[in-house]
Amino acid sequence: MYPLQKAMSDFIVSARKYRPATFHSVVGQHSITTTLKNAIQNNHLAHAYLFCGPRGVGKTTCARIFAKTLNCFNRGTDTEACNVCESCQSFNDSRSYNIHELDAASNNSVEDIRSLTDQVRIPPQVGKYSIYIIDEVHMLSTAAFNAFLKTLEEPPAHAFFILATTEKHKIIPTILSRCQIFDFSRIKIEDTVQFLEHISKTENIEYEIDALNVIAQKADGGMRDALSIYDQIVSFAGTKITYKGVIDNLNILDYEFYFKMVDAFLEKSIPKALLLFNDILNNGFDGHNFISGLASHFRDVLVCKDAITIQLLEVGVNIKEQYKTQAQRCVAPFIFEALSICSTCDVQYKTSKNQRLHVELALILLCNIDLEKKNSNLNQSAPASSVSGTTGQATSSSSAISNTTGNQGNTLKDVKPPQPNMPTFSIKDGLKGIVPKPVIETPNEPEPGVNESAATYVNVSSTEFSQDQLATAWLKIASAYKDSDPRMFSTLSTQPPTLKENFIVEFAINNPLQDEEIQKIKPALVNFLRNELSNAEVDIVTVVSETQQGSKRLYSDKEKFEHMLQKNPSLLKLKQQFGLDFG
Within this chain, do residues 282 and 358 fall inside the same structural domain, yes or no?
yes
> Residue 513: CA atoms inside 13 Å, Cβ hemisphere, count?
7
pLDDT value for 373: 52
Check which CATH number belongs to the domain holding 345 and give it. 1.20.272.10
Q: Is residue 299 very low, low, confident or very high in pLDDT (cuts 50, 70, 90)?
A: very high
Within this chain, do residues 143 and 61 fall inside the same structural domain, yes or no?
yes
d(CA 295, CA 346): 9
- Mean pLDDT for the chain overall: 78
Residue closest to 263 by CA, chosen among 236, 210, 206, 301: 301
Within this chain, do residues 287 and 225 fall inside the same structural domain, yes or no?
no
Residue closest to 453 by CA, chosen among 466, 435, 465: 435
For residue range 423-434, what is the model confidence (pLDDT) as tens digits? 444 444 444 444
Q: Does 556 or 84 have the greater pLDDT score?
A: 84
Residue 88 has pLDDT above 70, yes or no: yes
Q: For residue 177, is it within any domain?
A: yes
d(CA 340, CA 441): 51
d(CA 11, CA 576): 58
d(CA 63, CA 23): 10
Q: For residue 563, is it within any domain?
A: no
Within this chain, do residues 30 and 137 fall inside the same structural domain, yes or no?
yes
Q: For residue 80, is it within any domain?
A: yes
Measured at the CA of 543, the angle between CA 541 and CA 547, to 5 degrees, comes to 155
d(CA 54, CA 165): 8
Residue 397 has pLDDT above 70, yes or no: no
Q: For residue 384, is it within any domain?
A: no
| % of residues, the chain, pLDDT over 70 | 80
Residue type, 320: K
Within this chain, do residues 126 and 194 fall inside the same structural domain, yes or no?
no
**CB contact at 8 A, 322 and 255:** yes
- Residue at which a domain ends, from 183, 205, 225: 183
Binning the chain into helix, strand and coil, the percentages to the nearest 5 are 55, 10, 35
pLDDT value for 3: 55
Within this chain, do residues 200 and 170 fall inside the same structural domain, yes or no?
no
Within this chain, do residues 20 and 122 fall inside the same structural domain, yes or no?
yes
Give 271's contacts (C-beta < 8 A, 6+ positions apart): none
> Exposure of 85 by Cβ count < 10 A (0-12 exposed, 13-18 middle, 19+ buried)?
middle
Within this chain, do residues 434 and 315 fall inside the same structural domain, yes or no?
no
**CB count, 10 Å around CB of 492?**
25
Conformation bin of residue 246: beta by default, left when phi > 0, alpha when psi is -120 to 50 = alpha
When mean pLDDT is compared across 3-12, 436-445, 464-473, 565-574, the lowest value belongs to: 436-445
**CB contact at 8 A, 357 and 291:** no
Check which CATH number belongs to the domain holding 509 and give it. 3.30.300.180
- Residue at which a domain ends, from 156, 183, 210: 183
| % of residues, the chain, pLDDT over 90 | 13
φ, ψ for residue 125, nearest 5 deg: -85, -40
**CB contact at 8 A, 291 and 345:** yes
Residue closest to 273 by CA, chosen among 219, 221, 338: 338
Within this chain, do residues 217 and 304 fall inside the same structural domain, yes or no?
no
Query: 267 is in which domain, residue-wise?
Result: 255-375
Q: How many helices (H) and strands (E) does the chain have?
A: 27, 12
Distance of CA 528 to the CA centre of its chain: 47
Q: For residue 139, is it within any domain?
A: yes
Check which CATH number belongs to the domain holding 133 and give it. 3.40.50.300
Within this chain, do residues 260 and 246 fall inside the same structural domain, yes or no?
no
When mean pLDDT is compared across 99-113, 208-222, 314-328, 543-557, the lowest value belongs to: 543-557
Number of domains in the chain: 4
Helix (H) or strand (E) holding 472: helix 467-480
- Residue at which a domain ends, from 183, 198, 230: 183
Give 531's contacts (C-beta < 8 A, 6+ positions apart): 416, 418, 419, 422, 430, 457, 460
Within this chain, do residues 331 and 451 fall inside the same structural domain, yes or no?
no
Residue 417 has pLDDT above 70, yes or no: no
Q: Does 31 or 515 have the greater pLDDT score?
A: 31
What sections of 384-459 are H helices per DSSP? Answer: 398-406, 410-413, 427-431
Q: For residue 576, is it within any domain?
A: no
Q: For residue 90, is it within any domain?
A: yes
Q: For residue 581, is it within any domain?
A: no
Residue 457, classed as helix, strand or coil, is: helix
Distance of CA 87 to the CA centre of its chain: 50
> Exposure of 327 by Cβ count < 10 A (0-12 exposed, 13-18 middle, 19+ buried)?
buried
Q: Is residue 552 very low, low, confident or very high in pLDDT (cuts 50, 70, 90)?
A: low
**CB count, 10 Å around CB of 35?**
13
Q: Does 226 or 575 have the greater pLDDT score?
A: 226
The CA-atom distances, in angstroms, between 39 and each of 69, 159, 178, 182, 341 are 11, 16, 17, 13, 52
**CB contact at 8 A, 102 and 114:** no
The DSSP call for residue 306 is S
Within this chain, do residues 66 and 155 fall inside the same structural domain, yes or no?
yes
Residue 314 has pLDDT above 80, yes or no: no
**CB contact at 8 A, 300 and 313:** yes
For residue range 355-388, what is the model confidence (pLDDT) as tens digits? 999 999 999 999 988 655 555 554 554 444 333 3
